[in-house]
């Protein structure tokens, strides 16, 4: 394992970095040429219903199964809280930072990639809120301790969640929370408060639908996932007079995020709670496997708030990577002007620059895309919103590439910490003194990182191309508009490659 004396892991070597740049450029040129020669055709939607297997259906919709999953996650949540407040405050001897940042935060992105919003199925903050407001674990109790207020109309968008995501990033990195057990536990309790208080005040799960930063980030990423909950037969939905999946009945609760199966066509706001399976009187709900990125490729209803979050996702995931490189520390020190600005102030200025710069760059390339198309009457805003969805795969796969290094290099610490989770000197399972090697060699991790970024780049171009046909009626105009967009995606992918070529600071102390 290659690292320097400061605990920074070596980035990908120069030969792999420059080879990756060539690969990205060649793939971009090939895809553009391919679409010039290929007529655009809408492919039939391919799905395979998993709930046709009775054991899958019973496992997924059982309240006891869900309760068991929630109890495990809630136990781990309370372990983090106790360890954070009462354990040894050295991050290398306390399970809270490793379990939170190396296992949950890293693993969450991989979970979303393959299983969509399944985290929401067992979310500890939502589970605790349900149990406390319903006064029940399994029994259906419609008499909730809830004031039933309407969610404010001005907040019926995801700008609140976007603002909270920016705030979380500022707190996490500005105050170095990943290295502090107490701060990690405090953040965990704060998240519970953000879910519980709206759960007492507002109808259904309004905060989950509009305000939850984790739910909204995972909602955009989940459009890439190969799992979905959908109606089996839309004709049955359209003939249904009661809409029990939306309203609820004696068998289950109303959909907590107001998703109606007759019109739901993306994973974004479904939290996979399985209530629709329990309430549908026609057994017309299915858990399907489908091709990756099906929602992104076929999305017809786009939203400005989602487009801005997509941009911010790329900006902040890249920013996460940048702050763990030596270059960031040099940059922050330069911003301090020999002490004239505090470190936190310089950090905040640097974060603002890193947040705004990609948005401005994207805005410029959208203007170029509109100009290249030759259709000046097309709305700039429409192009801006439509093409932003092509950035989601690039953000997602850089996020995966960044997290892969932390997971495969650092997560083995959990085995030793399991024997002494609070740093009290215990050795419960005989593993406290083990010194384990990383799961994979650094060379293998480098190959995985590069492959992930290239995959994200390919999907980004393909998704952007498909959205071009939703904007321009003319095939020629759609293709011309893609020339600047492919250029932009090359820039963003090269930024991702540059970041993994830098020495990377470990997320928690060894």
pLDDT tens string 132-180:
998 888 888 877 888 889 999 999 999 999 999 999 999 989 888 988 9
Q: Does 275 score more than 70 pLDDT? A: yes
Mean pLDDT of 38-45: 64
Mean pLDDT of 57-78: 95
Looking at residue 390, its pLDDT comes to 93
- Judge contact between 140 and 249, C-beta under 8 A: no
Mean pLDDT of 466-476: 86
Q: 151 and 86 in one domain?
A: yes
Q: 238 and 199 in one domain?
A: no
199: in domain: yes
Helix (H, G, I), strand (E, B) or coil at 382: helix
Distance, in Å, from the CA atom of 348 to the CA atom of 88, rounded to the nearest integer, reads 30
Domain final residue pick, 290, 307, 334? 290
Q: Which secondary-structure segment (H or E) carries 297?
A: helix 294-298
Q: 243 and 160 in one domain?
A: no
Q: What is the pLDDT of residues 109-129, one digit of tens each?
A: 999 999 999 999 999 999 999
Looking at residue 455, its pLDDT comes to 94
Q: 328 and 232 in one domain?
A: no
Distance, in Å, from the CA atom of 418 to the CA atom of 428, rounded to the nearest integer, reads 8
Q: 329 and 286 in one domain?
A: no
26: in domain: yes
Distance, in Å, from the CA atom of 317 to the CA atom of 273, rounded to the nearest integer, reads 28
Mean pLDDT of 368-372: 92
> What are the helix (H) ranges across 472-505?
475-500
Band (2; pLDDT cuts 50, 70, 90): very low
Q: Does 9 score more than 80 pLDDT? A: no
Q: Does 4 score more than 70 pLDDT? A: no
What percent of the chain is predicted at pLDDT more than 70? 95
Q: 310 and 180 in one domain?
A: yes
Q: Which residues pair with 288 in a beta bridge?
A: 49, 228
The overall pTM is greater than 0.75: yes
Q: Does 492 score more than 70 pLDDT? A: yes
- How many structural domains compose the chain? 2
Q: 404 and 316 in one domain?
A: yes
Q: 150 and 246 in one domain?
A: no
Q: Does 40 score more than 70 pLDDT? A: no
Q: Which secondary-structure segment (H or E) carries 356?
A: helix 343-373
Looking at residue 510, its pLDDT comes to 39
Q: Which residues of 236-246 are buried (b: 16+ CB within 10 A; e: fewer)?
A: ebeebeebbbb
- Judge contact between 273 and 279, C-beta under 8 A: no
Q: 63 and 16 in one domain?
A: yes
Residue 378, both tokens: 């097309």
Helix (H, G, I), strand (E, B) or coil at 287: strand
3: in domain: no
Looking at residue 507, its pLDDT comes to 58
Q: 238 and 377 in one domain?
A: no
What mean pLDDT value characterizes the chain?
90
45: in domain: no
Band (309; pLDDT cuts 50, 70, 90): very high
Domain final residue pick, 262, 290, 318? 290
Domain final residue pick, 241, 257, 290? 290
Band (1; pLDDT cuts 50, 70, 90): very low
Highest mean pLDDT, choosing among 83-97, 294-308, 425-439, 494-508: 83-97
Looking at residue 218, its pLDDT comes to 94
Domain that holds residue 239: 227-290
Q: 234 and 88 in one domain?
A: no
């Amino acid at each position: 394992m290659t690292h320097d004396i400061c605990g920074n892991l070596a980035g990908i070597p120069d030969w792999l970095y420059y080879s990756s740049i060539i690969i990205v450029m060649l793939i971009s040129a090939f895809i553009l040429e391919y679409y010039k020669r290929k007529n655009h055709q809408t492919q039939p939607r391919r799905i395979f219903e998993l709930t046709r297997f009775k054991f899958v259906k019973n496992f997924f919709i059982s309240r006891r199964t869900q309760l068991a999953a929630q109890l495990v996650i809630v136990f781990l949540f309370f372990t983090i809280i106790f360890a954070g407040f009462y354990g040894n405050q050295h991050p290398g001897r306390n399970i809270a930072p490793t379990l939170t940042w190396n296992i949950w935060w890293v693993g969450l992105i991989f979970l979303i990639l393959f299983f969509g919003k399944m985290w929401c199925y067992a979310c500890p903050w939502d589970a605790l809120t349900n149990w406390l407001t319903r006064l029940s674990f399994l029994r259906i109790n419609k008499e909730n301790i809830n004031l039933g207020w309407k969610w404010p109309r001005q907040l019926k968008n995801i700008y609140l969640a976007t603002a909270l995501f920016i705030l979380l990033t500022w707190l996490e990195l500005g105050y170095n929370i990943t290295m502090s057990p107490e701060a990690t536990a405090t953040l965990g309790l704060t998240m519970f408060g953000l879910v519980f208080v709206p759960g007492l005040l507002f109808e259904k799960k309004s905060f989950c639908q509009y305000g939850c930063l984790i739910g909204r980030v995972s909602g955009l990423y989940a459009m890439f996932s190969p799992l979905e909950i959908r109606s089996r037969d839309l004709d049955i939905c359209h003939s249904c007079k009661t809409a029990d999946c939306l309203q609820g009945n004696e068998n289950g609760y109303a959909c907590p995020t107001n998703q109606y199966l007759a019109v739901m066509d993306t994973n974004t706001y479904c939290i996979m709670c399985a209530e629709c399976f329990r309430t549908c009187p026609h057994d017309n709900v299915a858990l399907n496997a489908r091709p990756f990125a099906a929602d992104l490729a076929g999305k017809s209803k786009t939203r400005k708030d989602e487009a801005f979050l997509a941009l911010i996702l790329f900006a902040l995931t890249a920013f996460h990577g940048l702050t763990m490189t030596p270059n960031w520390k040099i940059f922050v020190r330069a911003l301090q002007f020999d002490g004239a600005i505090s470190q936190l102030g310089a950090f905040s200025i640097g974060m603002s620059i890193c947040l705004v710069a990609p948005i401005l760059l994207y805005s410029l390339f959208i203007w170029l895309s509109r100009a290249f198309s030759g259709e000046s009457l097309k709305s700039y805003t429409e192009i801006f919103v439509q093409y932003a969805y092509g950035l989601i795969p690039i953000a997602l796969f850089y996020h995966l590439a960044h997290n892969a290094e932390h997971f495969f290099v650092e997560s083995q610490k959990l085995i030793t910490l399991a024997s002494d989770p609070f740093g009290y000197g215990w050795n419960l399972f005989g593993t406290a003194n083990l010194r384990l090697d990383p799961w994979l060699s650094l060379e293998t991790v480098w190959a995985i990182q590069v492959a992930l970024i290239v995959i994200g780049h390919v999907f980004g171009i393909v998704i952007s191309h498909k959205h071009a046909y939703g904007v321009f009626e003319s095939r020629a105009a759609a293709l011309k508009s893609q020339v600047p967009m492919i250029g932009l995606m090359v820039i963003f992918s090269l930024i991702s490659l540059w970041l993994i070529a830098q020495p990377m600071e470990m997320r928690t102390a060894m």
